[in-house]
Structure 1
């Protein structure tokens, strides 16, 4: 068992761990910062750590006020702002806890709600499965979709009519836009400021850009300008939201397992598994996470 504890006294810097989520290779997936003992940090300190680290999110953990065993309050900061929920940092934090305390069940109290996480050993690495808060899906206004397409440099004809635009939520809000071709998805060059302004107005965390390869296989990309990041390499919160979207629109059965590939266009390939269960509105997202080695 590896001990990753930190002593957060005023005179010592917190131990900032670095993991990549949704991959078994440190060069793949989405890097996240993890601070397992953040009780001594205020908002400004957490934001400064996240900005200095430069990853799309860093998770900061404190013991849950209830005192329950293996339960934590978790806050997530991007380099620019706090976000209510982050899937890849949840996976990273849960794996870091499992390395320290042993695999099993954890409970994360987030600003979006309670998120149970189970960690088990897979063939190559520890794998975490989070269960989202209750999701929702709503229509996207035509004018907002038009503005999003303009910011992305897409035309209406670039969209897949079988997967209509929607705003989906499973802890954070995401605008789902489906590309008609893999080539359209691969060619991502957008107006950062214009998309950021739209996303702030709509309270969006990312734009979830999707291309459907098969019945249960999708390729996704997630611009994240509101977090100060051009693109997120693997986005667990958006994957959960997309699972709710796919079920709501009848694209998949009520019981289904989806595979989302993300990050390949950035050179950081990752795999996200999304599980839907009939009779349970919540969405489960799972993936591996591994420690990123320290550089000299």
Structure 2
């Protein structure tokens, strides 16, 4: 049997840009090795593999980059949810992920189908001086480049991300980092991305997310990092009074992306909303194509 690999650009901005993800809507019978090989062949930062559950709207999801499995991926979740909505109609989904249960709601509007994921509880902790120094060395940045209003932290909403705020948009735009050095550091620390950002205004942030552990220089839109970032701002006391903020990502890659982030009142969870657009399909995936590990 075979299941097609769908392609969606998630967190598009006005129908443009976004971060492409692969989606396999029925990965029943696919081995771990086959999923990893498929993700490597697709070549995107992540591909989502869904196995339908016993009840409507319930699915188990696994996420693979070209190099490894990750516990959770926001943009691939949005891509998969929009793909399901286009097939089955909008509504509520409950996804079982390695990071925990994730609820997603989809809706149709004038700009197409959107998906809103509710993250697992978001947490943050200060980064150590050694972690910060090693990261700055890999980035080729100096302590003076950082915005003192936003201390370095490790934030999580399913995956760990180092969060670094910089003073200027020019510093963020000029990103040319040491890929092997940052890859080795992030693998040792267990970080999925380094979330680099600048505050455009109190409720709008431009961001870039290097992703060398996945074999990807940079992510155009990172929903998991956006959720973790929302939790970080909440913990820091710098979240907008409305609890809503916008993360703009991917512009420096030529793929502008828009992620809408909302802190859930009375909860540590964070909602992230984005649109997704279908791209031309890839070849089918053959189940049991490789031995499991």
TM-score range, shorter chain: over 0.9
Separation of aligned partners in 2, 1:185 and 1:136: 24
Change (3 A) 1:68 1:165: same
Decide whether the 8 Å contact of 1:25 with 1:290 is kept in 2. no
Change (3 A) 1:247 1:145: same
Change (3 A) 1:127 1:210: same
Separation of aligned partners in 2, 1:164 and 1:215: 16
Which residue of structure 2 lines up, in the alignment, with residue 158 of structure 1?
A: 145
Decide whether the 8 Å contact of 2:203 with 2:240 is kept in 1. no
Change (3 A) 1:57 1:295: closer
Which residue of structure 2 lines up, in the alignment, with residue 23 of structure 1?
A: 12
Unaligned runs of 5+ in 2: 284-293
Larger RCO: 1 or 2 (CA < 8 Å, sep 6+): 2
Unaligned runs of 5+ in 1: 1-8
Matches within 5 A, 1:279-290: 279-290=266-277
| Stretch deviating more after TM superposition (152-161 or 275-284) | 275-284
Separation of aligned partners in 2, 1:24 and 1:244: 23
State how many pairs are aligned.
283
Cα RMSD over matched residues?
1.4
Q: Secondary structure at the match of 1:176?
A: strand
Separation of aligned partners in 1, 2:59 and 2:241: 31
| Stretch deviating more after TM superposition (26-35 or 192-201) | 26-35
Task: Answer yes or no: is 1:84 the counterpart of 2:71.
Answer: yes
Which residue of structure 2 lines up, in the alignment, with residue 138 of structure 1?
A: 125
Which residue of structure 1 lines up, in the alignment, with residue 194 of structure 2?
A: 207
Which residue of structure 2 lines up, in the alignment, with residue 271 of structure 1?
A: 258
Change (3 A) 1:73 1:289: same
Which residue of structure 1 lines up, in the alignment, with residue 112 of structure 2?
A: 125
CA shift, 1:40, in A, is 1.9
CA shift, 1:294, in A, is 4.5
Separation of aligned partners in 1, 2:101 and 2:201: 32
CA shift, 1:107, in A, is 0.6
CA shift, 1:252, in A, is 1.6
* 1:224-280 C-alpha deviation (Å, 9 max, x unpaired): 000000000000000000000000000025641100000000000010000013211
From 84, 97, 110, the counterpart of 2:97:
110
Separation of aligned partners in 2, 1:35 and 1:295: 11
Which residue of structure 1 lines up, in the alignment, with residue 42 of structure 2?
A: 53
CA shift, 1:295, in A, is 8.5
